Structure 1
Amino acid sequence: MRKNAFYAQSGGVTAVINASAAAVIETCRQHPDRIGTLYAGRNGILGALREELIDTSLESDESIAALKHTPGGAFGSCRHKLKDIDTHLAEYERIIEVFRAHDIGYFFYNGGGDSSDTTLKMSQVAEKMGYPLTCVGIPKTVDNDLPLTDCSPGFGSVAKYIATSVMEATLDIKSMCNSSTRIFVMEVMGRHAGWIAAAAGLAQSEQAELPDGAVGHAPQVILFPEVAFDEAAFLEKVQASVDRDGFCTVVVSEGVQNADGEFLAKSGLKDVFGHTQLGGVAPLIANLIKDRLGHRYHWAVADYLQRSARHIVSATDLEHAIAVGRHAVELALEGKNASMAIIVRESDEPYHWHVGDAPLSEIANVEKFMPDNFISSDGFGITAEAKRYLKPLIKGEAPPPFKDGLPSYVTLRNELVAKKLPNSFDI
């Protein structure tokens, strides 16, 4: 039976999440006998709660294709986690009410761990209410912390951006260290998992191929959330790097913790998911070096720049994002409810992979951390095993089209369909 579909974007966006959206829309359009109109939620799941549904059928094929080279979230994203079903059933009943009014039988949610939880809960409540709904998750997170999938679309491009930025900034500081700044600290995303920080180590891998006599050690120090911060060992490592190389590049994950498991940079605030708000670990580390070792420094926070840098996406990452979007629709048409499209690695060198699926019950609210064998024995770098894993994910270039010197990105019409329910919903 032909049913309409609902797609939404959730959480922090990436440089390639719109590519997944494009793949979902294009694949749905290839099955007009099974899928009618694909509605996109304005601002994620909030669009379902507010009955703010975007009619994607009004967008041209050309505009949808252009999403593949456009960063951000084309339909708007959100940070809204559905609460416990037993105590907050009203939210779920509202979504089912909206879906029933618009004859929606397929639910695609594009996000990370919390979004997987939402997708799983929607499958459970739909079954409980006797409403036929096939729910499929589409992986997306720059943190690369989703389990079961080999990697998460969005991560490969962030890894490429960070490794490139560290390489370029290191060449800058190397040029000035004799008479000026000796320390450069870059703060990257990663609350509990240090995948992005680890990617900075690829800059060292490339520099190691420079001619004899060239400095090939940067970043000399990487601070991971998985490794408790040891101030004495850290300062010793920094000073040894300065003595050897004349400078030191430090990459620090926002989620680095002390021996008691406390974030070094906690602000005391919580986000809507209940997570501790982080920020400011780079200046903290930089000032520690200045106060204890006396070295001049510069620091930077990549922040949104790392996840929105469409101009330097990894071609591999783009392929992954498109593949999981397409496969999510295929899974739904096969009746694979409460599942997620995933990336399955077949080999490192040469790099081969395919798409598969995994149950959301084994993905929701589970984090994938850096394996011990990916972190060097001193806790400040990455191993050859980590490099073998990371290198394929940053391979290839897929730049956007440019116009008048700037990237040419698409803006969709995003026209809402008429509401069918007389009541609104207070969020």
Structure 2
Amino acid sequence: MSVRNAFYAQSGGVTAVINASACGVLEAARQYPDQIGKVYAGRNGILGALKEELIDTSLESIDAIAGLRHTPGGAFGSCRYKLSTPEDKPAEYQRLIEVFKAHNIGYFFYNGGGDSMDTAHKVSLYSKEMGYPITCIGVPKTVDNDLPATDNCPGFGSVAKYIATSVKEASLDIESMHETSTKVFIMEVMGRHAGWITAAAALAMDKENDPPHMLLFPEIDFCRETFLAQVEQTVEDHGYCVVVASEGTHYGDGTFLSASRSTDAFGHVQLGGTAPILARMIKDSLGYKYHWAVVDYLQRAARHMASAVDVEQAYAVGAAAVEYAVQGKNGIMPTIVRGEGPAYTWSIGEVPLEMVANVEMKMPRHFIREDGLHITEECRRYLAPLIMGEDYPPFKDGVPVHTRLNRVCVEKKLPAFDV
């Protein structure tokens, strides 16, 4: 049998380092020409497979591939597209296998979060039933740090570094102006059900009572009275108050403070707007002048402030995915394993895809202070190593230099497919 090709796709919301994982996959695959032929990348994620829009990465230069390591966004395009089960949508899975067959693809590297690991797992199982087994390896990625079975997830460390830095800088602004101006500053960060990004804001603190003074987690039910009382007390004690709130902040009945009526492709309610809601509460009840910020895409796109640890780990899981595939392993995801001892060390492990498919890892309660409004010292020790080190992109004329790929697709061989 001829050497089989590989398919790589990026899925879901991108991160500052997802392209570093792509770099790891592509550079590692080029080291095994006797086992892996060409690597095709899906244009706009899994849609690229369904539409047979396969980017031929062999046409990209060595320098361009290397440049992915310091380029944010998703170089091949990503998407939020839900593949349910083969029983519910057999035509989609049949289409995937038909495209893989047509282009002699025997390896599938899927770079994403829990939903993506579920898809990779199902493709692995269904391809066997179809008589065309595909080696499926998940490549972990999510800024939310909510994948289980791995110590942390590539993408999170850089967001954590950006948030901690931004909160620290903004707090100095508020501190310098609070006597005659803003008393309360609220920053809204990502995190629907898991408060890891919110927790990372606490890394801005040099000593006790430094800002941020209050953290609002999805794991803790929001109480309006408690929140307002804490804001008022903090302003009395320090002259100002800095709050970092998760977009997933919710009341005791589960209702999000900022829930809208729209949902995404996975059925998730569209969030965003927690900060202005909290600010209005403060204005109406306490009368303080306020400012708020929703950092939104800035937090996950800030490659100029990436954590060196995060970049290294993102690259490593991409390369490990290929190493595992050529070793004959299937249906697994590379993980990050934290070493023991006082000095931070890490290595790469593995876990079966079914253990991480559609499973969220929320913050454990012992990482959250007893009153639910800040982190514990144990949480700080966990978070601190993940933002260590700088890995700056090259700069030209004062701005970062990023790789732009040719993204040339191979000739289609199959009829069109409606997505």
Report the TM-score when normalising by structure 1: 0.97
Q: Within 5 Å, which residues of 2 pair with 1:367-386?
A: 367-386=360-379
Q: What is the aligned partner in structure 1 of residue 122 from structure 2?
A: 121
Give the equivalent residue in structure 2 for 1:268: 261
Secondary structure, in 3 states, of the residue corresponding to 1:6?
A: strand
Describe the SS at the equivalent of 2:251: coil
- Work out which of the residue numbers 200, 205, 210 in structure 2 matches 1:217: 210
The alignment covers a number of residue pairs equal to 418
DSSP 3-state at the match of 1:180: coil
User: What is the distance in 2 between the residues matched to 1:418 and 1:48?
Assistant: 13
1:287 matched to 2:280? The reply is yes
Give 1:182's aligned amino acid: K
Moved over 6 A (4+): none
| Structure 2 residue 248 is the aligned partner of structure 1 residue 255 | yes
1:112-261 paired onto structure 2 within 5 Å: 112-204=113-205, 206-208=206-208, 216-261=209-254
Residue 348 (structure 1) shift: 6.2
Contact 1:348 1:388 in 2 (8 A): no
User: Secondary structure of the residue that 1:347 maps to in structure 2?
Assistant: coil
| Distance (Å, rounded) in 1 between the aligned partners of 2:109 and 2:44 | 14
Note if contact 2:140-2:317 (Cα within 8 Å) is conserved in structure 1: yes
- Can you list the C-alpha shifts for 1:133-183, whole angstroms capped at 9, x where unaligned? 100000000000000011110000000000000000000000000000000
Aligned equivalent of 1:344: 337
Equivalent-residue separation in structure 2 for 1:230 and 1:409 (angstroms): 44
Identity of counterpart residues, as a percentage? 62
2:99 corresponds in structure 1 to: 98
Aligned residue type for 2:134? L
- Aligned equivalent of 1:424: 416
Residue aligned with 2:110, SS: strand
Tell me by how many angstroms 1:87 deviates. Answer: 2.1
Cα contact 1:348–1:389 (8 A) shared by 2: no
Give the secondary structure class of the aligned counterpart of 2:339: strand
Shift of the alpha carbon at 1:132? 2.2
Task: Return the TM-score normalized by structure 2.
Answer: 0.99
Q: Which residue identity lines up with residue 418 of structure 2 in the other structure? A: D
Give me the whole-angstrom Cα distance separating, in 1, the residues matched to 2:402 and 2:207: 33
Matching residue's letter, 2:171: T
Deviations along 1:393-417, whole A, 9 cap, x unmatched? Answer: 0000000000000001110000000
CA RMSD of aligned residues (A): 0.8
Q: What CA distance in whole angstroms lies between the structure 2 residues aligned with 1:267 and 1:157?
A: 28
**Retained in 1: the 8 A contact 2:124–2:133?**
no
Q: Supply the distance in 2 between the matched residues of 1:219 and 1:83 (Cα, whole angstroms).
A: 41
Secondary structure in structure 1 of the residue aligned to 2:260: strand
Question: What is the deviation of 1:262?
Answer: 1.1
Unaligned regions of 5+ residues in structure 2, if any?
none
1:269 partner SS: coil
Q: C-alpha offsets along residues 108-151 of structure 1, whole Å, 9 cap, x if unaligned?
A: 00000111111111111101111121000000000000000111
Q: Which residue of 1 aligns with 2:312?
A: 319
Q: What is aligned with 2:27?
A: 26
Specify the SS of the correspondent of 1:250: strand
1:305 paired with 2:298, answer yes
Three-state SS of the structure 2 residue aligned to 1:351 is: coil
Matches of 1:294 and 1:377, distance apart in 2: 29
Deviation at 1:207, TM superposition (A): 4.5
Distance in structure 2 (CA, Å) of the matches to 1:336 and 1:141: 23
Report if the CA contact (8 A) 1:348-1:392 is conserved. Answer: no
Q: How much does 1:217 deviate? A: 2.2
Q: CA deviation at 1:331?
A: 1.0
